[in-house]
Amino acid sequence: MPTRTAVSFPLIVPDPPKPRPGRPPGIPDFTCAAIATLSERLEELLAPFAETLEHRDAIPGINRRTAEVLIAELGVDMTVFPTAAHVASWAGLCPANK
């Protein structure tokens, strides 16, 4: 029966890249550039709704990005919903939503 010889290889783990200022670690430059471009375009499109955006951003638990999504999904005319409960239910924000 042949003898087995254990061979060990050194495990070389490179140091993780140092994060660049203003960029989350692990996110490629092209992704950050695409996000920046889309964010600028979103600002342009939401400019007419700045006041509504600020009101929604002031709601506790709603940050600017969530306020932008609410405007995109619900619009700015809330008269189409009979009550606030209808809005919350349609948006999937009602407490019973699992």
C-alpha distance from residue 70 to each of 11, 38, 54, 88, 92 (Å) = 49, 17, 12, 11, 11
What residues does each domain of the chain span? Answer: 30-91
- CB neighbours of 25 closer than 8 A, spacing ≥ 6? 16, 17, 19
pLDDT score at 51: 92
pTM above 0.85, yes or no: no
CB 71 within 8 A of CB 56: yes
Per-residue pLDDT, averaged over 18-39, amounts to 76
| pLDDT surpasses 60 at 7 | no
Residue with tokens 């960029």: 23
**pLDDT digit string (tens) for 41-74?**
988 988 999 999 999 889 888 888 888 888 888 8
Tokens representing residue 67 in the block: 């306020």
